[in-house]
Amino acid sequence: MSDLDDDDFSLGEEDSDDEPFAPYDEAEEDDGEEFAAASDESDAEVLEPKPKKARVSPKKPSPKKVKNPSAVKKAATPKTTAARSLQAKAPAASKKSPAAPKPKPMKAGDAEAAVLDYMRKTNRPYSLLNVFENMHRAIAKPSLTKLLDNLVAKEELVSKTYGKAKIYYMNQSNLPVPSEAERLALEEQIKDVTADCAASEQELKGVELTLSEITSQISDAGLDAALKQLDEEAATLEKKVEALDQPGRAPVSPGRKDALKRKFTKYRTAWVQRKRIAMDGVNQIADGMEKKPKAILDLVGVETDEETGIKELPTI
């Protein structure tokens, strides 16, 4: 048996590491609740958006007041006086053109006679403004109105109103009636003048035709240039003929001759076809525009064969 007892293995109260539980304290619980509430309030303050501050524009500085305006005026006065003195001394740059002399006013009797004579010579209807301008404004408008109305009252003139316009013309009953002999003489004179006019027109047409023929002909300088060019071409052709007539020259083979003929025929056929197509289009455009084909060619800028010196298409 062992000498050790159970008491040797028992733990005493002093040797126990476990401390007894502290009693429940309500004050500590209240402190915890207050801390939690404070933390919730701080979180709410963080989450709430901060109010934006309104922008305030900076105030503009008020303009500085001039302390002594009389000093400014005094400083400016010497310059102004100098400028005025220069303007007074400088001669005038441009002189006014002399005004046209005004027509002298006419007397009442002279004005009436002048207006009546003018209306008799012209024998045409005029308005008040027409008479005023044709008389070179020698009579004032109010006086001219009274004068024309007086002539109408005297049956020298006749007036008619068309809307707002009033027309004056010579009283045809006061004009002398020509006799039968005078009328026949005037008719004969009219016929003679008409015949002379027709003859002059025919003469003018003949002169214009002659002028167009002369201007269309080549000038002397152009004729000399054309003759010189033709002489050069003739000399070139003569040299070519001489080269072809040389006895030692090798003849052209029949195959090469046939190939050249076929090539010439091909290009000549294309030339004829394209020329026909182009002229058909030009003629249609000319019919639509009611113009001549030559005018359309000039408008488009097409150069014809005749303009290049080709009178007819070449053949073999």
- Structure confidence by residue, pLDDT tens digits, 234-253: 999 999 888 888 887 777 78
Gap between the Cα atoms of 141 and 125, Å rounded? 18
The whole-chain average pLDDT of the chain stands at 77
Q: What is the pLDDT of residue 230?
A: 94
Is pLDDT of 278 > 70? Answer: yes
Percentage of the chain beyond pLDDT 70 is 67
Quote the DSSP letter at residue 51.
P
Is pLDDT of 136 > 70? Answer: yes
Q: What is the pLDDT of residues 97-134, one digit of tens each?
A: 555 566 667 777 789 999 999 999 999 999 999 999 99
Q: Say which range, 22-26, 126-130, 160-164, 200-204, has the weakest mean pLDDT.
A: 22-26
Q: What is the pLDDT of residue 171?
A: 93
Is pLDDT of 59 > 70? Answer: no
CA atoms within 13 A on the CB side of 2: 4
The residue type of 290 is E
Q: What is the pLDDT of residue 43?
A: 47
Are residues 147 and 139 in contact, defined by beta-carbon separation less than 8 angstroms? Answer: yes
Q: What is the pLDDT of residues 20-55, one digit of tens each?
A: 444 444 444 454 555 445 444 444 444 444 555 555
Q: What is the pLDDT of residue 279?
A: 93
H or E segment to which residue 129 belongs: helix 128-134
Q: How sure is the predictor about 296, in pLDDT bands with cuts at 50, 70 and 90?
A: very high
Gap between the Cα atoms of 88 and 86, Å rounded? 5
What is the 3-state composition of the chain as percent helix, strand, coil, each rounded to the nearest 5? Answer: 60, 5, 35
Is pLDDT of 285 > 90? Answer: yes
Contacts of 126 (CB under 8 A, 6+ apart): 119, 134, 167, 168, 169
Task: Name residue, tokens 């005493």.
Answer: 12
Provide the angle, in degrees to the nearest 10, between the axes of the packed helices 254-289 and 293-300. Answer: 100
- Verdict on whether the full-model pTM lies above 0.75: no
